[in-house]
Structure 1
Amino acid sequence: MLLYAAESKERRIDVRNPVVLRISIAICVFVSCLFFPSIAYQETKKAIRIAGDNHFPPFEYLSDSGVYSGFNVDIMNAISIQTGINIEYYPMPWNQAVQALRSGKVDAIQGMKYSKAREEVYDFSESYFTSSQAIFVLKDNMYIRQIDDLEGRKVAVQKGDVANDLLNKVNHVQLIEADNQQEAVQLLVEEKVDAFVGNRITGQYFLQKSRQQSLIKIVGEPLDPTAYAIAVLPKNNGLLKLFNQGIDRIKSDGTYEKIEKKWFGEYIMPSAPVLRKTLFYLETGLVITLIIITFILWWNRMLKKEVSKRTKQIERINKDLEEKMVLLKENLYFQKQLLNSAYSSFITLHQAGTVSMINRRAMEYLGLNEKAVGRPFQQTPIVKFIPEQEINAALEDKKMFLQKETTWLQTPSQKRYITYSIYPIKTTTGDSVGVMLNFLDITEQKEFEKKVAQEDRLRSLGQLIAGIAHEIRNPLMSILTYTQLLPKKFANAEFRSFFSQHVSSEITRLNALINDLLDYARPKKSEPVICSLYDVAEGIVRLFKPKIKEKQINIVWEFPEKIEAIADIQQIKQVLMNIIVNAIQAVDEHGTLTIRGYYRGNVAVMQIEDTGAGISEDELDKIFEPFYSRKANGVGLGLSISYQLMKENKGTIDVKSIKGKGTTVTICLPCCRKDEDDVSCYDYR
């Protein structure tokens, strides 16, 4: 190139004087006008407005004298001569030129690099040059070699230049835009950026002109070598025919070659020093090749040694694997012994539903042998007491069934009770590979529980009879005493009145006792409905408001939401009345009674907590027994009846107490509530 003529006269020379070129162009104009007069005067009335960069040498720039010059300008002048079109030039900063074309202020841009993104906006003429970009860095920069190395760096570019499209593909790059490429190059020279990406020829031109080429170097291969052509908007694509005709003619008659040599120079035959330099490079390359071959041979030898070493390692690994296989077999045998010695029965199934393992306990209980392995589970007796649909659900949907109870009629006269669990067998990735069945015969346990329950009922009955005898004896003795005195004091009107009042009172007391006994023995069938625990508790507290006010008890409500349960309202009122009455009686003056409610899963929970004297551990075990009372005149049936009523309503009651600190009574009742897509609801039907 001409740009390098000052650097290396042996490589490039300027073969055309500008004066000679102007004379040649004038001759071409004369010949064109002589032989192509129709073309020469075509569309002379209307000038075509051409925009270009005002600072993009050697392609287009304003010279020091203010003349718009450059390779692109000469190309357009030559096209103008060949086609006879009039051209008006509008030099301006590149980004303004692009805006001028888009807004219709100009008809074309004389030199624009082609890209797919630009093709969507502009129409291009035939290419008359191949333009490429380059990465310019400081001479001492060793870490930037290619475009990917610009990640996270500051890079200078010209506004609107195609380099912006290239760098948009690089992550975290910080673009510093300049009005022209000379300013962008200067930013690099002043070390304000890490690199400059722009036109390869223009960048070198500015560096040589400012004598700064010793500070900057070009790294990597030419970037994006692409066609360079005239650009118009699609609505003006009719101009492209004239431009293409002009480009074809200046290329065919030699004008293009002259313009190219004027601005970029030409290669000449290499001189003797160049040949010596080339020979030196060849010799150096040969030496390097010999070194590489020697290195490859040495490396091959080292690889053989490494292969031998690795072979020995593999042999040792194989030996270790054999030892581990023996250990694995021993572990499997140990696991088999462990399963066979288990009290429960175990059966595992493959994903296809066939038996993969069965322990000795299961074989003895089901009357099977080793031949059962490999058979479908439907052909074994387990389907007689474990539902087949549950096993399929565990195999297909990974469902789990834990501690479920069932019965198995082995013979018409022999009924067995069995508990079973079904576990999906999963891999570390969560994939199902089968299921495990674990079952246990609990018939003897059931019979033992029945025996214990019967003995417990007999013990409770004894306590009940003793309590009844004690409670009935007191009013009967009073009635007997009054009756024996009646003949002696019948004439005494005051005694008769006393007799009538107290005998009636004692009879009423006996009747209430009998009613309590009937409620305890035969609680009525509950009629559950959805009720608000807060409303029930608030009504009972309001009922005992005088007593609460008398003892100045502080009532604390902790109901964060409306708590609803499914229960018989009257029975729950009776339970809460017994609990709240006991709490009021247990609390001293200025004490605190806390009533709280909340949900726990599908259970509604209410707690009544008092700051009373509390109950000892020995007494806590007896509070639900009939006729046990810590009060002087208490009957001891309140909590017993409450316990029965909670069982009738499918609920539970629990008491926790610390002596000297207070007591907390917790009742749990079924409820019906919706949590997102899951509905947990107790079914009474």
Structure 2
Amino acid sequence: MSGIILLLLFLSCSLAFATGDPLGVGDALPETTTIKVGGNRAYPPYEFLDRNGQPAGFTVDLIRSIAEVMGVNADIQLGEWSKVREDLEAGRIDMTLGMSHTGEREEVYDYPSPHAIVQHAIFARRETPPAGSLEELRGKKVVVFRGGVMNEKLKALGYEKDLVLTKTAADALRLLASGQNDYAVVALLPGMYIIRENKLTNLVPVARNIATFKFSFAVRQGNHELQSQLNEGLAILKKNGEYQAIYDKWLGVLEPRRISWEKAIQYGSMILVPLVLLLTGTFAWSRMLKKKVDERAAELALEVSEKERAWDELRVQQDKLVQADKMASLGILVSGVAHEINNPNGLILLSMPILRESQAAVDQVLEEYCKEHGDFMCGRLPYSRMRDKLPGMLAEIHEGAKRIKRIVDDLKDFARQNDAAGMEPFDLNQVVQAAVRLMENSIRKATHNFVVTCAEDLPMVRGNAQRIEQVVVNLILNSCQALPDKGRGIFVTTYLDCDSGRVLLQVRDEGTGVAPEHLSHLTDPFFTTKRDTGGTGLGLSISAGIIKEHGGLLSFDSVPGAGTTVTLTLLAA
């Protein structure tokens, strides 16, 4: 008997080695897990059957991406929603693509983390009196789709006898559009999507947020393993950015457009368009007066017997006419536009710090509310997105208001009459050092190589130190703006020209330079090569006027690509 047992063992081992499994136990490769997924066949853009009869939508793409990162297969079948819920409860499927959270449902299903917030709305035909709340639907015929969250909610509120049930949300809206019943209650985004795709143009949402629910996958109660897998996969997609891409593809295009930029453009146009028209009129008026000056010059040339006297007379008349033209046109502009702009703009500048402080204080309350109740809509955007954008928007408005104030101040300076009062001896070196201190922040942002060389024993200069300081600030600012990178330098030098006895200030930069055809126009009013970056063309014009008041000279020397040198010449006291 023992011999027979040994023989059988020997034959078994031989067979095992012959089949390539010496231990008699097959090392089978692990099979990929397949999860059965059900969903609503007509709940766009979340889940629906496309024109080819294939599953599509936000939750469909989401579960496919989760299945891919988690290494499982997702068998997706879409059908009538009430039947899908029955299949989940009976265990014929493992999960659903989307389900709104309610207290009653949480006793039957387990939910992974929400992946969306769904708002429900009341829809009506255009001629139907609007209903602003669920209470106003009492006694009306209301269409909802069977098994939906609003079917359950309205039934719980005692509306059951007035409810008309359909298989899908699309059927509900089509029934309403055909003239039957009074209202339909459907999720807002699916409703708008169905109206657009089916051209139900006689339907409109009359109450946009009558109920809000968290929306997520749903699994049978107790299936914690699948629930954990879905949470882990969703977390991975949010980290790698794929969740946001899917959200933007399906839901982002249906969200209301932001209007902040449109409002900004609208308000900006209200200010800038009249300003541009006034400036255009000013330029045309200036050209017309210049033409009259030229005609007058020709008449004077014929009438005056001595050429030198004729030219002297012409220069006097021309200077008077140009100054009269400038003051007439800009006097109107400054007295009218500057007052009208500065008053509302002052309100903006005064209010913005308070608004920013208030926003920072309110953020704490909103953050606590968001943690307790989840994300919510704030200014037609989810709060989670608005809290990041709002500080930047307020900062942009504040900077824009300050920019308007600077432009108006430049216009007022340009229109200012020549003022010889306040002329007294001053030290040019001290003026330069004061200007550098004022421009320290701009210099630091523009270059790592800023050098100031002040001559010793420099004679005093007679004039208005504050106005000369304004000129130096303008010259340094222009040099900073001309530098393409921080590696280029700016060099400020003061020295005495012993031959002429004049005091000179030189500002040299290694910037982009000025084209030869532009050099002669640098001090023309409103001429600028930096229009795209906000230049007004008044800085050098104002500076040239100030230097002319002081009997000095402002000259320019530039090589395109190599830099520009500006030389300011003043008489010693």
**Shorter-normalised TM range:** 0.3 to 0.5
In the superposition, the TM-score normalised over structure 2's length comes to 0.40
Q: Considering Cα pairs closer than 8 Å and 6+ residues apart, tell me whether 1 or 2 has the greater RCO.
A: 2
Higher helix share: 2
Going by fraction, where is strand more abundant, 1 or 2?
A: 1
TM-score (norm 1): 0.33
